[in-house]
Copies of this chain bind each other. A is one copy, B any other.
Amino acid sequence: MYKYREVYTDIKNNILTNHYRAGSLMPTQEELAEKYSISRLTLRKVLQMLGDEGLVYSKQGAGTFVRPRMADSPDEILPLNSPIGVTYSHRSQEISSKVLHFDARLPTPLEQKNLNIEANEPVYEIKRVRYLNGKHYSFEHTIMPTRIAPLDEKILHKSIYDYLGSKNIMMTDARRVVYAEAADAETSQAMGVDLNCPMLVIEQTAYDQKGRAFEYSVSQFIKDHSKFVFDVHRQWY
Residues of A bordering B, CB below 8 Å: 5, 8, 22-23, 41, 49, 54, 57, 59, 65, 67-68, 70-71, 73, 77, 80-81, 113-114, 116, 171-182, 196-200, 205, 207, 209-213, 221, 223-224, 226-234, 237
Contacts and interface: CB of A to CB of B under 8 A. Distances in A.
Given A198-B199, A211-B22, A173 B233 contact: yes
Given A22-B211, A210-B65, A227 B73 contact: no
A181 B198 CA distance: 6
A230 B178 contact: yes
Contacts of A71: 113-114, 116, 175, 205, 213
Contacts of A207: 67-68, 70
Contacts of A116: 68, 71
Given A49-B237, A205-B70, A210-B65, A178 B178 contact: yes
A176 B71 CA distance: 11
Contacts of A237: 5, 8, 49
A71 B114 CA distance: 6
A55 to B, nearest CB: 10
A175 B70 CA distance: 8
